[in-house]
Structure 1
Amino acid sequence: MAALAATGAVPPDVEVIEWDLAAPPPRARIDLVVAPYMGDWLGRLAAVAAVRPRLVQGQMLGYDGVAGVLPPGVRYANAATVHESSTAELALGLILASQRGLDDFVRQSEVGQPIERRYPSLADRHVLLLGAGESAVRSQRA
């Protein structure tokens, strides 16, 4: 349970149960379910109907399709503000990799051929990253 290890100690009156939502539930009632990260997490959410939690905490930023899977009355919290910075950083890294032709270098290195082409640089240019997530929206509201 990597997530629990990262969380640290929990209060003594809290019982943590590992359940991947693929097997039958380990208890008849579970107050809080943390949805699996990645994979078929959305397909597994229907399993929470058996334990009627007060909250399902997602680990993804979005919530597309969740309302069609969760039973009525079960609240869902997405992971807004968790991934925005790393996603913006990844977008910028991929822009740089594309601009500088790193994908071409990788493909050519696999066949042992040098690249005899120049790629444009971002030096002395401006980069504007739009849509950097909820934190950007919140700062505009303030």
Structure 2
Amino acid sequence: MITVSVPTQEVADALGHPGPDARVIVWDPAVEDVPPAERERVTIACLAHYTGGRTVYGRLADCPDLKVIQIPSAGFEHAVPFVPPGVSLANARGVHDTRVAEMALLLALASQRRLPQFLEAQRRGEWAPDFDAPSLADTRVLVVGYGSIGEAIGARLRACEAHVEGVARTARLAPDGTLVHAASDLLSLLPHHDIVIVVTPHTEDTDRLVDARFLAAMKDDALLINVGRGKVVDTAALVAELESGRLRAALDVTDPEPLPAGHPLWTAPRCIVVPHVAGVERLTDRRYTGLVHRQIEARRHGDDPVNFVMMGAFPA
């Protein structure tokens, strides 16, 4: 029998019946220890958003038959140090693509068409037209980190008649026809694009990728959008460029995060900040529940976990 734990009854209800050889229980290891009656039965453990750490994974390690930990995010670096030995970690790659792409498009349109200044004028009760705001159409957009989310962003930008190219570890032609450049060419590409969208995970290779040199290579009045991870951007370098008036920014993620009161990003000119909400898919939505059902099906047939990213290591 495959036993799947989910963090709330609402998620259990959304999953529905998993089949005659599987069952769903409600258990949130961020809240409590595993129920004694379920300790040796949990096979797949699904975590809630924004949960993790030593306590949570310690409770998961108490389940001797646990085979898969399903986290709700595409990023998984936060979980890597804590995965119990012999247990597979699976991420939610693909689940959040649409929501992240929607936010990237929203931020691009809002900055290009100067929505913040119109909202400020509305609050003042002032009719203040600005006919010079640039369109998104005909802009050149570079998506740094052209994976599944990058493809979803690209599709929406092309619908707005923007020209889209990508950057990834190696050069290739993406399945959607996008020209993807090698990361080694990034600096030479920046001066030729009006909008740069960062959607990379945070790794050793991408830490402070968007540094002073990167920003200096961007063309005047270019827009930087970050819907990836805050630590990919050197905040001090970005603030300096914003305060000079040379660049614009629209950020779903920041470093530090949450952004503290009084931080210069709050008041930096031509900067939009939203509180890391781009990719949080509700666990009751079909994209997430569909992933869990596929995870159950993989376990049922003895296949590798869907979206497998790593297995917890046994001590040397």
TM-score interval, normalised by the smaller of the two chains: 0.7 to 0.9
SS of equivalent residue, structure 1 residue 120: coil
Aligned-partner Cα distance in 1 for 2:108–2:137: 16
Report the Cα offset of residue 105 of structure 1. 2.3
Overall identity of the aligned pairs, in %: 28
Runs of 4 or more above 4 Å deviation: 135-139
Alignment coverage as a number of residue pairs: 139
Any idea what the Cα deviations from partners look like across 1:5-55, whole Å, max 9, x if unmatched? 333321133221111212111221211001112x3x123333211224100
Determine whether 1:87 maps to 2:116.
Answer: no
SS of equivalent residue, structure 2 residue 45: strand
| Residues 95 and 31 (structure 1), Cα distance of their counterparts in 2 relative to 1, 3 Å cut | same
Point out the more displaced range, 104-113 or 62-71.
Answer: 104-113
SS of equivalent residue, structure 1 residue 10: coil
Q: Give TM-score, length-normalised by structure 2.
A: 0.39
Which residue of the partner structure matches residue 52 of structure 2?
Answer: 42
Q: Which amino acid aligns with 1:49?
A: A
Q: Give TM-score, length-normalised by structure 1.
A: 0.78
SS of equivalent residue, structure 1 residue 92: helix
Determine whether 1:59 maps to 2:69.
Answer: no
SS of equivalent residue, structure 2 residue 81: coil
Which residue of the partner structure matches residue 138 of structure 2?
Answer: 125
Aligned-partner Cα distance in 1 for 2:119–2:28: 37
Any idea what the Cα deviations from partners look like across 1:76-125, whole Å, max 9, x if unmatched? 00011222233123201211011112222223323433335345231651
Determine whether 1:15 maps to 2:16.
Answer: no
Q: Which runs of 5+ in 2 are unaligned?
A: 1-8, 152-167, 176-316
Q: Which runs of 5+ in 1 are unaligned?
A: none
Report the Cα offset of residue 126 of structure 1. 3.2
Q: Which amino acid aligns with 1:8?
A: G
Report the Cα offset of residue 129 of structure 1. 5.1
Q: Which amino acid aligns with 2:115?
A: L
CA RMSD across the alignment: 2.7
Determine whether 1:24 maps to 2:38.
Answer: no
